[in-house]
Chains A and B, each alone.
Chain A
Amino acid sequence: MLLQHIPGVLAVELERLSLRDDQPNVVKEVLVAKPGCIEGGKILPAQMVMVDTTSSDGIIVEI
């Protein structure tokens, strides 16, 4: 995403990248979604990783 390309930005520190229900202040290397599958005899739909636009905490840019 190269936020450093924005004029005036010297550096960027990622302070949180995690699922909404994870512990706060966690930076995960990977957020994984599962495809549609059968688990325990139950059919589970495919998952999709999405930024939480319903919350003001979904995207936070601090200075």
Chain B
Amino acid sequence: MFAGVGKVQARALHNGHRHLVYITVAGVDGVPIAKDSILYSTLLIGINNVSTSPVRLVSLDSFEALFFWIRVQLLIDPDWQEQKEAIQTQASQKISTIIGFAMYELAPGCHSIRRNCAFTAYSWCAGSGA
């Protein structure tokens, strides 16, 4: 992995005229990689240096973030009411941990975040198609 790059997706596309390798990147911790950044320039030079096909263009872009919001309501055991704020904090931290950057993926086909019917679990899943 290139230093500073957290996620990468490469796809073979055809724009009607030419084949190209289209690479989408995300910085560490989900930070976009701006086209005027040193990291972007360095990465592009590195890619072009190892590109073996003179007819296949390589194009590089930063990802598009789709931000989501989540809100849950907890039902606390009456015997635990005195600890409810600690429980609330723990639940929030647990959500943050589970759905943190390490879990994110650049859509590999049709990537999604899915909930189960009772929200007892989150799952990240990749299906087919866009």
| Residue pair A13, B75 in contact (C-beta under 8 Å) | yes
Whether A51 touches B70, Cβ cut-off 8 Å, given contacts A41-B16, A46-B64, A61-B88, is: yes
Residue of B nearest to A16 (CB): B71
- Interface size class on chain B is 35 or more
Residue of A nearest to B100 (CB): A51
Nearest-Cβ distance from residue A62 to partner chain B, whole angstroms = 5
Complex Cα distance, B80 from A6, in Å, reads: 11
**Number of interface residues, chain A, beta carbon within 8 A:** 51
| Residue pair B92, A48 in contact (C-beta under 8 Å) | no
Nearest-Cβ distance from residue A5 to partner chain B, whole angstroms = 9
Nearest-Cβ distance from residue A30 to partner chain B, whole angstroms = 5
Interface residue ranges, B against A (CB under 8 Å): 7, 9, 11, 13-16, 22-24, 26, 30, 59, 61-77, 79-80, 83-84, 87-88, 90-92, 94-96, 98-101, 104-115, 118-122, 130
Interface residue ranges, A against B (CB under 8 Å): 1-4, 6-20, 27-38, 41, 43-52, 54-55, 57-63
A selection of 20 A-B contacts at a CB cut-off of 8 Å is A8-B77, A9-B75, A13-B73, A17-B119, A19-B69, A30-B112, A32-B111, A33-B107, A33-B110, A33-B111, A35-B108, A35-B110, A45-B61, A47-B107, A48-B105, A51-B99, A54-B67, A57-B71, A58-B67, A59-B95
